[in-house]
């Protein structure tokens, strides 16, 4: 999560410079990419009511991001799944595909950018994903496993979690070819006592280590959207440019039950999609830390007083929805260098017992076919630098 902090800093500067960037995304034929089940949202034929003809879907998943894509792929082994994602597919997006374009992708503030800039109520400049694959398409690609303590706190079955890791790792995680700056960072961390050196490991353990990366040796990014290749194509439908606006409820029982959603397609036309009438059918929200509570609130689940103030009919009062969000604190040190430094994102990390996570990136770049924009003092042409964040 400290990587998130790095980006806040970059974005801060990008925004100050008031960058104008255009999108590198283009129209694509999704079936070319081993994903024939990915379609544009406008291809959907709406169901009029839940009580009408039964829907084919056991699950509707809202948000095809880091969590939503693997969830859809695994559920599709046994169930029929509809995955709705507001952004485009990432496969032909050069900003997403190459490590070189990490910064430029975050600087792209065009409406079709895979990265959506926002400023939190505390005034912190940040970005969230708007693309199939979610945060894995715009993040720094560092991969690590969770701590046993985290798994326990989350109430997950540790055996199932352990079995699930290799499924992800085989498909999209690699060991980095450690860049010179990352070696220097490793030596520096050990020198100041962030030890022992744990070598290459996915485990989140105290000391200094080299973790996994979702970039391959040539700097090509693998994302959660690539995990959809493991789905059962017979059981999965993925709609891109499908922005869900509201969850629909059946209120005839004792408790309201989520039975469908309203979504807008790429032309602004609205559609309704419903789950099947099986009692086990569910609408699952995986729209991110901001998107999920936003959708609950828009649908009438949240603090009743807040909803009434916004003229949203209350479906279920819950005082916690949309509350308790906080920004990730971060301190960064920028080290200017006279000679260009090889570009690297997060490979080496230091994890201290105080809970501090120390990481670093180096250099700047952009491929010749990516969007072109001036990054001012952050640009690779003007200076080279390395960055350490905690
Ligand atoms: C710049 C940056 C660098 C980072 N670096 C790292 C790193 O190196 N390592 C690491 O582990 N973590 C990193 N993170 C954090 C990590 O990427 C996120 O924690 C993770 O992606 C969150 O996953 P998610 O599934 O909850 O949400 P997301 O991956 O954001 O997925 C949510 C999806 O829902 C979609 N959505 C939202 N609302 C709607 C709607 N109404 N209708 C339809 N779709 C909707 C969004 O478009 C998005 O695709 C970084 C984050 C950022 C921003």
pLDDT one-digit tens code per residue, 154-194: 999 999 999 999 999 999 999 999 999 999 999 999 999 99
Give the SS3 label for residue 75.
helix
What would the pLDDT profile of 288-336 be if each residue is shown by its tens digit?
999 999 999 999 999 999 999 999 999 999 999 999 988 877 777 888 8
Q: ∠ at Cα 311 (309, 313), nearest 5°? A: 115
Output the pLDDT for position 229. Answer: 96
pLDDT at res. 273: 96
Does the beta carbon of 223 sit less than 6 angstroms from any atom of ligand 1? no
What is the chain's mean pLDDT, rounded? 87
Distance (Å) of CA 337 to CA 147, 181, 244, 340, 387: 36, 11, 46, 7, 11
β-sheet bridge partners, residue 116: 128
Q: pLDDT class for 34, splitting at 50, 70, 90?
A: confident
Residues 81-95: tens digit of each pLDDT? 999 999 999 999 999
C-alpha of residue 252 to centroid of ligand 1, in Å: 35
Using most ligand atoms within 8 A of CB, pick from 9, 25, 65, 242 the residue to mutate for ligand 1: 65
Q: Which domains does the chain have, with CATH numbers?
A: 30-140+220-326 (3.50.50.60), 142-213+328-389 (3.30.410.40)
> For the chain, how many residues are written?
390
Rounded Cα distance between 387 and 44, Å, is 46
Of 105-109, 125-129, 260-264, the range with the highest mean pLDDT is 260-264
CB of 260 within 6 A of ligand 1: the answer is no
Q: Find out whether the beta carbon of 67 lies less than 6 Å from any atom of ligand 1.
A: yes
> What is the pLDDT confidence band of residue 49, given thresholds at 50, 70 and 90?
low
DSSP 295-343: HHHHTTEE-HHHHHHTTPPPSEE-TTTT-S--PPP--EEEEEESS----
pLDDT reading at 20 higher than 70: no
140 lines ligand 1 (CB under 6 A): yes
């Amino acid at each position: 999560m400290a990587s998130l902090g790095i980006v806040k800093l970059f974005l801060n500067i990008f925004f100050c410079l008031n960058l104008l960037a255009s999108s590198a995304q283009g129209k694509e034929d999704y079936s070319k990419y081993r994903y024939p089940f990915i379609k544009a949202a406008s291809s959907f034929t709406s169901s009029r009511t839940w009580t009408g003809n039964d829907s084919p879907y056991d699950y509707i998943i809202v948000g095809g991001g880091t969590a939503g894509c693997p969830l859809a792929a695994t559920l599709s082994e046994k169930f029929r799944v509809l995955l709705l994602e507001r952004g485009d597919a990432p496969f032909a997006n050069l900003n997403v595909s190459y490590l070189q374009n990490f910064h430029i992708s975050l600087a792209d503030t065009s409406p079709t950018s895979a990265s959506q800039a926002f400023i939190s109520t505390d005034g912190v400049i940040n970005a969230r994903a708007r693309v199939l694959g979610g945060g894995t398409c715009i993040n720094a690609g560092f991969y690590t496993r969770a701590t046993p303590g985290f798994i326990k706190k989350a109430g997950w079955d540790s055996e199932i979690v352990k079995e699930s890791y290799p499924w992800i790792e085989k498909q999209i995680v690699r060991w980095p070819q450690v860049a010179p700056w990352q070696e220097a960072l490793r030596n520096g961390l050990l020198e100041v006592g962030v030890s022992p050196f744990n070598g290459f490991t996915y485990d989140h353990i105290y000391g200094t280590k080299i973790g996994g990366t979702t970039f391959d040796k040539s700097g090509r990014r693998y994302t959660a959207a690539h995990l959809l290749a493991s789905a059962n194509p017979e059981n999965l439908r993925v709609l891109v440019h499908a922005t869900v606006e509201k969850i629909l409820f059946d209120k005839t029982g004792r408790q309201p039950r989520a039975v469908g959603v309203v979504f807008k397609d790429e032309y602004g036309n609205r559609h309704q999609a419903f789950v099947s009438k099986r009692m086990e059918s569910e609408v699952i929200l995986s729209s991110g830390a901001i998107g999920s509570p936003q959708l609950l609130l828009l649908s009438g689940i949240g603090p009743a007083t807040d909803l009434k103030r916004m003229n949203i009919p209350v479906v279920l009062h819950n005082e916690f929805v949309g509350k308790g969000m906080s920004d990730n604190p971060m301190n960064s040190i920028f080290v200017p260098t006279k000679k260009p430094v090889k570009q690297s994102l997060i490979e080496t990390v230091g994890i201290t017992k105080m809970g501090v996570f120390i990481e670093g990136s180096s250099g700047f770049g952009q491929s010749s076919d990516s969007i072109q924009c001036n990054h001012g003092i952050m640009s690779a042409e003007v200076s080279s630098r390395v960055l350490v964040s905690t």
